[in-house]
Amino acid sequence: MLPVLQVGPLVLPTASLLTVLGLGAALWQAERQANRQGLAGGVVYDMGMIGLLAGVAGARLVYVVRFPEAFLNKPLEIVSLNAGLFAAWGGVAAGVLAALGYGWRKGLPLWSTLDALTPSLAMMALVIALAHAASGEAFGAPANVPWAIELWGERRHPTQIYEALAAAVILWTIWPRRAAGSEWPAGVRFLMFVALTAAGRLFLEAFRGDSWLLPLGLRGDQVVAWLVLAASLWQLGKRLRPAPGQPENKP
């Protein structure tokens, strides 16, 4: 665990640093993959940047709407660089909507664009797992297995390592290879990534020590992952086996 990096007087949170570096690499890879697929790589890169900027603005806006009274004394703090003043899900929603809107306006084909973004998304999943390992977040349940790690006062499942291994396997599986990837219809790479990630989450969540719980002790993330898995497999089946008379979804 390495929660912060001290560089002279600067204290850099390792998880945030990894995330920023990962985002840079993911944007670069998205442009590269889009060019390979015959899409406008520059437009895909811009779409990613717009998504990021809208995400940051949306996260702050949602936070301000949620806690308006906190800004009454110092309204200028609405534009402060303080990393704690963001609402994560508001940012994700705003970023995704802005990116989709931009892509739609620029006439990017939805499924092929998602395929081009998939290696970047898989890279980010790995980066997030490593960020969790650095910060000690997403920690495991207490365990007596020989590979348990000492964390937060107890020996626990190293769920961050499980998460990183799963993300690495998924990244390897969906990584574009000319011979295999060129056969896949549009959208299949993206849907495979979603299905594999949901399946991994469904399995690994069982070892977590910080799950949010639903009635009957059900782990909320597992239920969400199961629903995402069902939806992605259903859509994957549709794209892999086009109905008779329908054209194939070429990449």
Write out the binding residues for another protein, residues 121-160 only, by CB under 8 A: 136, 139, 141-142, 152-154
Residues 163, 129: contact at Cβ < 8 Å?
Answer: yes
3-state SS assignment for residue 10: strand
Judged by CB under 8 A, does residue 229 bind another protein?
A: yes
Query: Shortest Cβ distance from residue 42 to another protein (Å)?
Result: 34
Segment contacting another protein by CB under 8 A, of 27-35, 103-111, 122-130, 226-234: 226-234
The SS3 assignment for 6 reads strand
Residue from 128, 199, 200, 251 in contact with another protein (CB under 8 A) = 199
Near another protein by CB under 8 A: residue from 161, 226, 239, 249: 226
Measure the CA–CA gap between 211 and 208, rounded to whole angstroms.
Answer: 6
Q: How far is the CB of 142 from another protein (least distance, A)?
A: 7
Can you tell me the distance from the alpha carbon of 32 to that of 48, in angstroms, rounded to the nearest whole number? 13
CA separation for the pair 3, 10 (Å, rounded): 14
Which residue, 35 or 211, is less far from another protein as judged by CB?
A: 211
Contact 61, 90 (CB under 8 A): yes
Q: Give the number of residues in contact with another protein, rule: CB under 8 A.
A: 51
Q: How far is the CB of 55 from another protein (least distance, A)?
A: 19
Question: Applying CB under 8 A, does 82 fall inside the site for another protein?
Answer: yes
| Polymer length of the chain | 251
Residue 63: phi and psi, rounded to 5, are: -65, -45
Quote the CA–CA distance of 108 and 54 in Å, as a whole number: 19
Q: State the nearest-atom distance from the C-beta of 172 to another protein, in Å.
A: 18
Among 9, 107, 146, 247, binds another protein (CB under 8 A): 9
85 binds another protein, rule: CB under 8 A: yes
Based on the shown chain and the rule CB under 8 A, indicate whether residue 20 belongs to the binding site for another protein. no
Q: Which is nearer to another protein, 55 or 185 (CB)?
A: 185
User: Which 174-193 residues touch another protein, going by CB under 8 A?
Assistant: 183
Question: Per rule CB under 8 A, is residue 88 in the interface with another protein?
Answer: no
Which sign does the torsion angle of CA 87, 193, 122, 203 carry?
positive
Tell me if 202 contacts another protein by CB under 8 A: yes
Q: Which residues pair with 221 in a beta bridge?
A: none
Angstrom distance (rounded) from CA 212 to CA 13 = 25
